[in-house]
Amino acid sequence: MKSYTEQVEKELKKIESAIHRHGFWRPPAGIPVGARLSGRVTPETEAVGRLMNRIFFIRCLPFCARIFGPAKSSTAQAFVRECKSDRDKMEFVRVQLNQLISDLQALGVFKNPPLEKIAA
């Protein structure tokens, strides 16, 4: 699980640095959608929740929201309610990250360094 989160972390850092480099990093207009974990959570669940919230934050940036539409709160709710195990949560994060990478690659601006999808 740790190497999986490290892969996601590495790709998120590449995405965030590319957004900064191209000048698209502007604060979201409102409060970003996020996964609110409640109760006792394991350190792994907390780490995966932080990664999911970073993906939601990127989706809430003005350039993403303008092009791809606003991030949906139902996606955050699905992460919290439907994903019971840490493996399910990590798979959900992987799917969301790969969708974000596909959307950003469609813009044609995010080519260097190349963004890589995370394999299952």
Residue 74 lies in a domain: yes
- 75 in a structural domain: yes
Q: List, in sequence order, the alpha helices (H) in 1-120.
A: 2-21, 43-60, 62-68, 73-82, 86-107
Q: Tell me the residue range of the domain where 92 lies.
A: 2-107
Q: Is residue 112 part of a domain?
A: no
Determine, yes or no, domain membership for 82: yes
pLDDT above 70: percentage of residues in the chain? 95
Read off the pTM: 0.85
Q: What is the pLDDT of residue 9?
A: 92
Within-domain flag for 119: no
Q: Does any domain span residue 20?
A: yes
Kindly report, residue by residue over 30-39, the tens digit of the pLDDT: 777 777 777 7
Residue 114 maps to a domain: no
| Torsion sign, CA atoms 27, 41, 43, 94 | negative
Give the phi and the psi of residue 71 in degrees, each rounded to 5: -65, 140
Does 46 map to a domain? yes
Residues 7-19 pLDDT 10s? 999 999 999 998 9
The predicted pLDDT at position 94 comes to: 92
Number of domains, the chain: 1
